[in-house]
Structure 1
Amino acid sequence: MAFFKRSHMRTLSAELVTPPDTPTGTSRRGFLAAACACCALPAFHSALAVTPGAGRPLHLKLDAAAQALEARMIGWRRDIHQNPELGNQETRTAGLVASHLRSLGYEVREQVAVTGVVATLRGGAGDGPVVALRADMDALPVAEEVDLPFASTARAQWGGVEVPVMHACGHDCHTAILMAVAEVLAAHRSELKGTVKLLFQPAEENLPAGEIGGAKRMLAEGAYSDPKPDVVFGLHMVSGLPVGTLGYCPGPAHASADEFRIVVNGRQTHGARPWTGVDPIVIGAQIITALQTIQSRQVNVDQPSVLTIGQFHGGARNNIIPDRAEMNGTLRTYDEARRAYMQRRVTEIAETIAKGMDGSATVHWERNGYPVTVNNPELTERMLPSLARVAGGDGLRMSPRSMAGDDFAYFAQDVPGLYFWVGIAPPGVDPASVPVNHSPRFRVDEAGMLLGLRASLHLVADFTRSGTIG
């Protein structure tokens, strides 16, 4: 694919570190051999010739501690999965997190952006950079259809409506992994340089009625203050990668995500006498058709973007032309200039078409949209050997950009960020056949969690140069 640039097809010489009592290149559950993964991996994921970074004794200690903690980490994940909470409602989850962190000696701040938790651990091995790690805690309004002993039956209020609740995107795993990271780092505090800041974030899946929350609100409420991080790392479990693999994408990795609403006003009349009114449904149909020409005729196709109308409401009877119709849609781009341009053109096209057809239209862009999630290229290149050391063999894969949005983007705007993906599709199964994130049948192969834990620990150790002399 043209997406994979030659500059990233390189070899970085060093040695591979494997966990204690683990055959080289393989392991039990969490350290699955890459050999079984490559057959199931879609062709658009490219295995790279990145040699693992040189290992140090501290890496072995962190791996051993991670492996010893795996069962407890999975237990935390299952408990959170069975008790999911929607955005800004994560009081139980946040309480579990805060209590755990305090018991480990972290400086803990609660109720950041309603239910967020920020925790700080200062290393005991000398000065060094400040590294932030983020985990999102919220679930989705989805009814679980997976037969698990810890399946969710929870219900909650969302936008004034009672809905089922499920961790259908892996945030339960993210929270449990970062809780485990916190415990391992606290146990090795004497060997840790610099400072670690943990960000347990609410409301990544956004909030109803355009409410501002999540990462943007956490930053506004001082999540990055005292001290401000030098870099931020985050991870996400994905069904599109087999368990035992890690994925990454330098530069734009997740698209921006904006929701908009178009209200068309006409003039109500009898359906048998349309000439006596102004039909907002016909106006809306013309607007929808014209909006598709923005992508096909007005922007460079070398840069992908998506404009989708997902809802169209108008009228109450077959023989009444209503006075109003409403459309809702989403815009996804990989470039902030493209994002601003398309937002402007949507508004201009809708207003102009409506006026030309003797009606009117107003376009409302929700304030809680997400910008593009950009992986800092220099930071990504610097940390690739760390990810390769953990993934082993061909377990590190360059993945295509995702049109899904993620408000990790805000954290990565303030400081250089790296957001990577952890495979959770079962071994030997084509990931394309596995239910995707946000599906009611979304299922996590928990063996992938250990890889996410080890990757997070190695990134911290390597960026802070912990376990080195000088």
Structure 2
Amino acid sequence: MLTKKELEVQKDLETKLYEIRRHLHQHPELSFQEHETSRFIASCLEEWGIPYQDIGETGIFVDIIGENGDGAHIGIRADIDALPIHEQTGLDFSSKNPGVMHACGHDGHTTILLGTVYQLYHLRSQLSGRVRCIFQPGEEADGAAEQLIKLGVLENPSVDAMLALHLWPHLPHRTVGVKYGAITASCDDFEIIVEGKGGHSARPHQAIDAITISSQILQALPTLVTKESNPVEPVVVHVGKIGGGTASNVVADKVVMEGTTRSVTRETRKRLAAQITEMCQNIAQVFGGKAIVNYKESHPPVINSDWVTKELEEGAKELLGTENVFQLKEPSMGADDFGAFAEKVPSTYFRLGVAQEGKPAFDLHHPQFEFHESIIPVGVELFTHVIMRRLHKGVE
């Protein structure tokens, strides 16, 4: 096992990581547009003499091969993209790209993984097995993780387990939140096109009112949560956008509604897709109209594997102290496409707290979201510690 000195991030590396984070924060790029971000990550690896491979247009991964014999193949993922948000933090190193901001901490995730790569590469003589460190684009968009999986990022050789963290403004600074089972929800989108028959409001019997049909659908959809779902299982069915009609005295012939569903089990996710389609079509038919449902699967729920989560929890307690590691009581209904990895291999996704006492903690995706960069070496040491203790054991 590593000594405390071997585990600690040295001051010169710590300074370099702070510089890296500030550069990333100043130059955010949207999903699948992370060309400069990818080049910058590559330049850091080249400076350190660490080999890497490109995957897709803007993805990168590093394989650190242990020199101490065979062992597990563990993956770590960090997301590298930013959000279409205008920054309002007032930081000296605020975004230089108007309307684009690292408002979800991905600059921190990327920096932590770079630091972990550096540490593990220089400890490879003590490693068995292999560590694959994945810098993933497009987490805020659809299908990014799935695309890398299709490109073989979990193969050659096969990855046995995956880890990922997310900075979390709802936990105290330098604490860890773990969750067995589901930790984030699925996120799927739907579009409902209701088609009726246009006409004059003075002669409603000659028309089929798409607005009336839509109102019935809007009232019925919540029953999929209140009457069709297990009351102790969190489920969301939400319509957030609706449009239709052209004038006050015209019967609308078409209404379009857009919404989202969230669930924490794969079974409920599939059920909602089928039930929303069936419900809308049946209601429209009763009123003589038609409903077309376009249902788009986006992110699956992140369901943590018990044994990987236990390894992470035990390692975090060893490093940070039992009092600084919490079991989260409930999942977040937010989503993360890390769920695509968790569907393929045993995985755990955990929270690293960034809330500082006496300072406001703005939520993720808020234009004032920020974190103190002293959390970066903590994340590096945590990943390094968990990986090193695991790679002295076999995969269960």
Deviation of 1:318 (Å): 3.2
Matches within 5 A, 1:72-83: 72-83=16-27
Matches within 5 A, 1:124-203: 124-155=67-98, 164-203=99-138
Cα deviation, 1:14-46, whole Å, max 9, x if unaligned, reads: xxxxxxxxxxxxxxxxxxxxxxxxxxxxxxxxx
Is contact 1:113–1:214 with CA below 8 Å preserved after alignment? no
Cα deviation, 1:138-180, whole Å, max 9, x if unaligned, reads: 111111111111111414xxxxxxxx21111001110111111
> Which residue of structure 2 lines up, in the alignment, with residue 35 of structure 1?
none
Q: Does 1:245 align with 2:175?
A: yes
Deviation of 1:377 (Å): 0.7
Deviation of 1:103 (Å): 3.9
User: Take 1:320 and 1:434, find their aligned partners in 2: how far apart are those partners?
Assistant: 49
Q: Does 1:391 align with 2:320?
A: yes
> Which residue of structure 2 lines up, in the alignment, with residue 235 of structure 1?
165
Partner AA of 1:417 in structure 2: S
> Which residue of structure 2 lines up, in the alignment, with residue 315 of structure 1?
245
Partner AA of 2:248 in structure 1: N
Deviation of 1:457 (Å): 0.8
Find 1:338's aligned residue among 268, 290, 296: 268
> Which residue of structure 1 lines up, in the alignment, with residue 199 of structure 2?
269
Is contact 2:302–2:336 with CA below 8 Å preserved after alignment? yes
SS in 1 for 2:366: coil
Q: Does 1:87 align with 2:87?
A: no
User: Take 1:66 and 1:408, find their aligned partners in 2: how far apart are those partners?
Assistant: 30
Is contact 1:234–1:420 with CA below 8 Å preserved after alignment? yes
Is contact 2:311–2:386 with CA below 8 Å preserved after alignment? no
User: Take 1:396 and 1:279, find their aligned partners in 2: how far apart are those partners?
Assistant: 56
SS in 1 for 2:284: helix
Is contact 2:176–2:324 with CA below 8 Å preserved after alignment? yes
Deviation of 1:105 (Å): 4.2
SS in 2 for 1:298: coil
SS in 1 for 2:52: strand
Q: Does 1:101 align with 2:45?
A: yes
Identity %: 34
Partner AA of 2:310 in structure 1: E
> Which residue of structure 1 lines up, in the alignment, with residue 292 of structure 2?
362
User: Take 1:320 and 1:392, find their aligned partners in 2: how far apart are those partners?
Assistant: 67
Partner AA of 1:396 in structure 2: V
Is contact 2:69–2:128 with CA below 8 Å preserved after alignment? yes
User: Take 1:291 and 1:277, find their aligned partners in 2: how far apart are those partners?
Assistant: 25
Is contact 1:66–1:453 with CA below 8 Å preserved after alignment? no
User: Take 1:64 and 1:331, find their aligned partners in 2: how far apart are those partners?
Assistant: 43
> Which residue of structure 2 lines up, in the alignment, with residue 455 of structure 1?
382
Q: Which runs of 4+ in 1 moved over 6 A?
A: none
Deviation of 1:59 (Å): 4.2
User: Take 1:272 and 1:147, find their aligned partners in 2: how far apart are those partners?
Assistant: 57
Find 1:329's aligned residue among 218, 238, 259: 259
Partner AA of 2:38 in structure 1: A
Give the stretch that moved more between structures: 169-178 or 410-419.
410-419
User: Take 1:360 and 1:451, find their aligned partners in 2: how far apart are those partners?
Assistant: 56
User: Take 1:354 and 1:84, find their aligned partners in 2: how far apart are those partners?
Assistant: 45
Q: CA separation of 1:379/1:296 partners in 2, compared to 1, >3 Å: closer, same or farther?
A: same
Cα deviation, 1:332-387, whole Å, max 9, x if unaligned, reads: 111111111111111111111111111110111114x1111111012212332201
> Which residue of structure 1 lines up, in the alignment, with residue 9 of structure 2?
65
Partner AA of 1:198 in structure 2: C
Is contact 1:386–1:462 with CA below 8 Å preserved after alignment? yes
Is contact 2:264–2:301 with CA below 8 Å preserved after alignment? yes
Partner AA of 2:176 in structure 1: L
Cα deviation, 1:218-272, whole Å, max 9, x if unaligned, reads: 0001111222211111100111111111111011111111111111111222344
User: Take 1:349 and 1:218, find their aligned partners in 2: how far apart are those partners?
Assistant: 35
Partner AA of 1:242 in structure 2: P
Is contact 2:299–2:339 with CA below 8 Å preserved after alignment? yes
Deviation of 1:418 (Å): 1.2
Structure 1 unaligned blocks of 5 or more: 1-55, 156-163, 208-212
With the length of structure 2 as denominator, give the TM-score of the two structures.
Answer: 0.94
Find 2:310's aligned residue among 381, 403, 407: 381
Is contact 1:143–1:440 with CA below 8 Å preserved after alignment? yes
Is contact 1:67–1:450 with CA below 8 Å preserved after alignment? no
User: Take 2:304 and 2:168, find their aligned partners in 1: how far apart are those partners?
Assistant: 17
Deviation of 1:114 (Å): 2.4
Partner AA of 1:148 in structure 2: L
Find 1:435's aligned residue among 348, 359, 362: 362
User: Take 2:163 and 2:86, find their aligned partners in 1: how far apart are those partners?
Assistant: 30
Q: Does 1:113 align with 2:113?
A: no
Deviation of 1:276 (Å): 2.8
User: Take 2:183 and 2:334, find their aligned partners in 1: how far apart are those partners?
Assistant: 9
Count of matched residue pairs: 392
Is contact 2:9–2:381 with CA below 8 Å preserved after alignment? no
Aligned-residue Cα RMSD (Å) equals 1.7
User: Take 1:437 and 1:275, find their aligned partners in 2: how far apart are those partners?
Assistant: 50
Is contact 2:9–2:377 with CA below 8 Å preserved after alignment? no
User: Take 1:391 and 1:326, find their aligned partners in 2: how far apart are those partners?
Assistant: 51
